[in-house]
């Protein structure tokens, strides 16, 4: 499989919930893999396929900590107070953005299509990614894996037409502004640009499922963010090192 993709298995939300529980219990990588393998085995019989699924789950909730320890540790602290799967989805999504740039790219294209009122199909998303990345051998299947996962997470829904999906914009809400700020920090760190205009950050297409209410004043009050007024009179947001 192409190392630039990585996300090449269907990932169910229930499995991410199990991975988060493992992390909350302080499991190491080996114990976490063993525990998750038994859970995934209830659905997937093949050992090779299970290993692929478990590798993604472990990277999302544990392995990616080396790149973003502050955001990972904060996600674990959020787990202690977020009781609903709907709010924990913010954590799964943010950590997946950090762990898999390919996932972010697919989600961004999905968000753009939805914003334009266009239906989402694997073919349309694949053509855009081929134009950006070239025709990588595993790209076709990987796109389908991400779309399956987004649908399983409740962020896409099927239509009357086969393999045509509708985007569920703003379906995820929270009364916790700190959770919104955490997700924005994940999106900003995952984005290839070093900084983004404030309005672009809160409207990133890859954040299409989330209803965001925080503004510049709240970002300015958080040490994690730098909000800088640029020459054109617009605010740019960066993360502090």
Which comes out higher in pLDDT, residue 67 or 102? 102
pLDDT in the model for residue 136: 64
Q: What DSSP letter does each residue of 97-121 carry, written as one string?
A: HHH-HHHHHHHHHHHHHHHTTPPB-
Section 164-171 average pLDDT = 95
Section 83-95 average pLDDT = 96
Q: What is the pLDDT of residues 21-65, one digit of tens each?
A: 999 999 999 999 999 999 999 999 999 999 999 999 999 999 989
What mean pLDDT, rounded, does the chain reach?
A: 92
CATH classification number, 102-167, choose in 1.20.1420, 1.10.287, 3.30.420, 1.10.10: 1.10.10
pLDDT in the model for residue 3: 45
- What is d(CA 186, CA 97) in angstroms, rounded to the nearest whole number? 7
Q: What is the pLDDT of residues 128-139, one digit of tens each?
A: 888 877 766 678
pLDDT in the model for residue 211: 96
Which comes out higher in pLDDT, residue 128 or 211? 211
95 and 64 in contact (C-beta within 8 Å)?
yes
pLDDT in the model for residue 236: 87
Specify burial of residue 232 (Cβ count, 10 A radius: 0-12, 13-18, 19+): exposed
**What predicted TM-score, i.e. pTM, was given to this entire model?**
0.94
Section 89-107 average pLDDT = 97
Section 176-203 average pLDDT = 93
Helix axes 47-61, 13-24, angle to 10 degrees: 60
Backbone CA torsion sign across 228, 230, 235, 237: negative
pLDDT in the model for residue 86: 93
- What is d(CA 60, CA 55) in angstroms, rounded to the nearest whole number? 9
Over 50: is that where the pLDDT of 1 sits? no
Q: What ranges do the domains of the chain cover?
A: 13-92, 102-167, 177-239
Q: What percent of the chain has pLDDT over 90?
A: 75
Q: For residue 240, what pLDDT band results from cuts at 50, 70 and 90?
A: confident
pLDDT in the model for residue 149: 98
Q: For residue 173, what pLDDT band results from cuts at 50, 70 and 90?
A: very high
Q: Minimum mean pLDDT among 83-92, 168-177, 222-231: which range?
A: 222-231
pLDDT in the model for residue 67: 86
């Amino acid at each position: 499989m192409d190392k630039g993709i990585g996300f090449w298995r269907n990932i169910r939300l229930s499995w991410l919930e199990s991975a988060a529980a493992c992390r909350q219990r302080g499991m190491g990588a080996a114990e976490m893999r063993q525990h998750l393998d038994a859970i995934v085995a209830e659905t997937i019989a093949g050992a090779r396929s299970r290993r692929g699924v478990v590798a993604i789950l472990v990277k999302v909730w544990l392995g990616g900590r080396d790149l973003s320890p502050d955001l990972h540790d904060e996600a674990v602290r959020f787990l202690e107070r977020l009781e609903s799967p709907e709010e924990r989805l913010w954590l799964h999504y943010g950590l997946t953005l950090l762990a898999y740039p390919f996932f972010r790219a697919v989600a961004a294209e999905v968000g753009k299509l939805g914003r334009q009122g266009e239906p989402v199909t694997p073919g349309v998303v694949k053509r855009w990614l081929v134009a950006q990345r070239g025709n990588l051998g595993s790209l076709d299947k990987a796109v389908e894996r991400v779309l399956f996962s987004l649908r399983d997470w409740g962020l896409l829904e099927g239509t009357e037409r086969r393999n045509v999906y509708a985007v569920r914009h703003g379906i995820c809400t929270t009364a916790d502004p700190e959770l919104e700020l955490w997700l924005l920090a994940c999106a900003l760190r995952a984005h290839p640009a070093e900084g983004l205009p404030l309005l672009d950050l809160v409207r990133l297409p890859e954040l299409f499922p989330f209803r965001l209410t925080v503004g510049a004043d709240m970002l300015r009050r958080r040490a994690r963010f730098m909000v800088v007024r640029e020459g054109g009179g617009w605010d740019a947001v960066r993360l502090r090192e």
